[in-house]
A and B are shown apart, each in its own frame.
Chain A
């Protein structure tokens, strides 16, 4: 566990030391701030950050692959993977360490947006409710962790960061589209199953302020297979 945490710490600190980390965070916060100022801070409207959470959810689609693209790809390109995989560390620890480091980066990126909630609190006649606020942040964090697992997997398969970014974005868009369209297009017998697997519906639930533990289990569970595949990719390199 200590090795996993050491890898996570290094990954997290590196993302903050590199321009790509700062630029990604700055871009995300700038766009989120614009949405907050234009769509949430409107006089006479109810104190709700729903528009902000909706827009931030979409922004995660390019932002998460930008965080995850270098996790393995950069190590494979620069050769630093060699000292890493020749140290007495299991593939699982390497994958989890990198994933947790990127997850910490994602969490750090969301923390400054709490300022928006404080602003809304101060300027609203009727303070916003805590439940929808919490649900809104879960609607960013939980899918964000799932997206990160896909990004980690894509990064483990290529030494090219651009390819890792684009393949993660492609897989995410494919899943989102499939998740939104398939439950309505598939044969009726399949619809309950596809509806259950759809993560679009769960994000909508969070947006409505519904906090369902099953949704959390779903997103955490969905993150496991991509991480296992990342471990398989790493192991395949050891067995090549």
Chain B
């Protein structure tokens, strides 16, 4: 559905995107992750045809975005960051206008508008002027407009921006349901959200791809040895607990985190957080240290992201 091959973009002397390549197929939700200025939005804008790549090629549904721009754009539904809409128009009027732009046959227009409104749950707002809607509803109107013509590729730039937790959950469910018939490419800063929504993650920084894979693959490959066990012990015995924990083979480090008057949280870093739990329990019992909870945490996507960025910055500095 989407094929990005060795794409570069120069803004004058600034090399913003440096040889980005990836592909995505129908039924897949791909997350584009990266810090500000990484080249995410530039990459998305090249795919959507806002501007062409300086070098390289992008195909959408088999159509080159440079040689067949209209056919490529027809296959894309795009929700730009912050969902720019016409505030003076009604929701219904705006969706009808978008249907006209994509030349949706008049026989299908009503059905598709109804379907889009239903999928993003904006029925009660359809007669309202867009300018009077909340940020969450405006985002949903933008999503309805993007999906209206049933594109094969949906591109969502920061779709969860400005939404509250309940709205983010709804947005996630909508995106997952849309991916049943389309390929979804989304960019986001909310790493936990990407982990929950995306089948695949492409991490980009300084205009290059640092990693591409499923969240599980990325954790496996890039965050091995970064797992941890979180232990709550009695505050009076915190120092003894730290000594006892450091003595366990496989423990890379122990840090003191938050706590209250009675209990303190210790974070034990280990190459094998799940396997070391029993040894931690035994050590605490042997030293007669009161323990309230003990939990192994798998490395998160955030840790993968942070590690890759640190590596990238170190390499860039070198």
Binding site for B on A (CB under 8 A): 2-3, 6-7, 10, 13-14, 17-18, 78-80, 82-90, 237-240
CA gap between A80 and B84 in the complex, in Å: 5
Which residues of A are found within 8 Å of B93, using beta-carbon distances? Answer: 13
* Contact B97 A6, beta carbon cutoff 8 Å: yes
CA gap between A14 and B86 in the complex, in Å: 9
* Contact B84 A82, beta carbon cutoff 8 Å: yes
* Contact B97 A239, beta carbon cutoff 8 Å: no
Which residues of B are found within 8 Å of A83, using beta-carbon distances? Answer: 78, 80, 84, 98, 142, 145
* Contact B88 A17, beta carbon cutoff 8 Å: yes
Which residues of A are found within 8 Å of B142, using beta-carbon distances? Answer: 83
Q: Mark each residue of chain B from 59 to 87: 1 if its CB lies under 8 Å from any CB of chain A, else 0.
A: 00000000001110110101010101110
Shortest beta-carbon distance from A22 to chain B in Å: 12
Shortest beta-carbon distance from A29 to chain B in Å: 22
13 more A-B residue pairs beyond the given contacts A83-B145, A88-B69, with a C-beta to C-beta distance below 8 A: A2-B100, A10-B89, A17-B89, A79-B80, A79-B82, A80-B85, A83-B98, A85-B50, A86-B73, A87-B73, A237-B51, A238-B49, A238-B52
Which residues of A are found within 8 Å of B48, using beta-carbon distances? Answer: 86
Which residues of B are found within 8 Å of A84, using beta-carbon distances? Answer: 101
Is B173 among interface residues, defined by CB-CB distance under 8 A? no
Most buried by B among A17, A90, A237: A17
* Contact A3 B84, beta carbon cutoff 8 Å: no
Shortest beta-carbon distance from A18 to chain B in Å: 6
Q: Which of A6, A80, A238 touches B86 (beta carbons < 8 Å)?
A: A80
Most buried by B among A79, A88, A90, A238: A88
* Contact B84 A78, beta carbon cutoff 8 Å: yes
Which residues of A are found within 8 Å of B84, using beta-carbon distances? Answer: 78-80, 82-83
CA gap between A84 and B7 in the complex, in Å: 24
With A2-B100, A82-B80 as contacts: A88 and B88 at CB distance below 8 Å: no
**Closest B residue, CB atoms, query A85:** B50
Shortest beta-carbon distance from B9 to chain A in Å: 10
Q: Which of A10, A82, A85 touches B97 (beta carbons < 8 Å)?
A: A10
Shortest beta-carbon distance from A30 to chain B in Å: 24
Which residues of B are found within 8 Å of A17, using beta-carbon distances? Answer: 88-89
Binding site for A on B (CB under 8 A): 48-52, 69-71, 73-74, 76, 78, 80, 82, 84-86, 88-89, 93, 97-98, 100-103, 142, 145
CA gap between A18 and B52 in the complex, in Å: 35
Shortest beta-carbon distance from B234 to chain A in Å: 56
Most buried by A among B49, B71, B86, B103: B86
Q: Which of B76, B100, B103 touches A86 (beta carbons < 8 Å)?
A: B76
Which residues of A are found within 8 Å of B73, using beta-carbon distances? Answer: 86-88
CA gap between A2 and B103 in the complex, in Å: 8
CA gap between A66 and B97 in the complex, in Å: 24
CA gap between A86 and B101 in the complex, in Å: 10
* Contact A88 B50, beta carbon cutoff 8 Å: no
* Contact A89 B88, beta carbon cutoff 8 Å: no
Which residues of B are found within 8 Å of A90, using beta-carbon distances? Answer: 70
* Contact A240 B71, beta carbon cutoff 8 Å: no
**Closest B residue, CB atoms, query A82:** B80
Shortest beta-carbon distance from A84 to chain B in Å: 8
User: 28 A–B contact pairs at CB < 8 A?
Assistant: A2-B100, A10-B89, A10-B97, A13-B93, A18-B88, A78-B84, A79-B82, A80-B85, A83-B78, A83-B84, A83-B142, A83-B145, A85-B49, A86-B48, A86-B49, A86-B50, A86-B76, A86-B78, A86-B80, A87-B98, A88-B70, A88-B71, A88-B102, A88-B103, A89-B101, A238-B50, A239-B51, A239-B52
CA gap between A134 and B52 in the complex, in Å: 49
Shortest beta-carbon distance from A32 to chain B in Å: 26
Which residues of A are found within 8 Å of B51, using beta-carbon distances? Answer: 237-240
CA gap between A18 and B89 in the complex, in Å: 10
Shortest beta-carbon distance from A34 to chain B in Å: 30
* Contact A3 B89, beta carbon cutoff 8 Å: no
**Closest B residue, CB atoms, query A236:** B51
* Contact A88 B74, beta carbon cutoff 8 Å: yes
Which residues of B are found within 8 Å of A6, using beta-carbon distances? Answer: 97, 100-101
Which residues of A are found within 8 Å of B85, using beta-carbon distances? Answer: 80
**Closest A residue, CB atoms, query B85:** A80
CA gap between A6 and B88 in the complex, in Å: 16
**Closest B residue, CB atoms, query A87:** B101
**Closest A residue, CB atoms, query B11:** A240
CA gap between A125 and B78 in the complex, in Å: 64
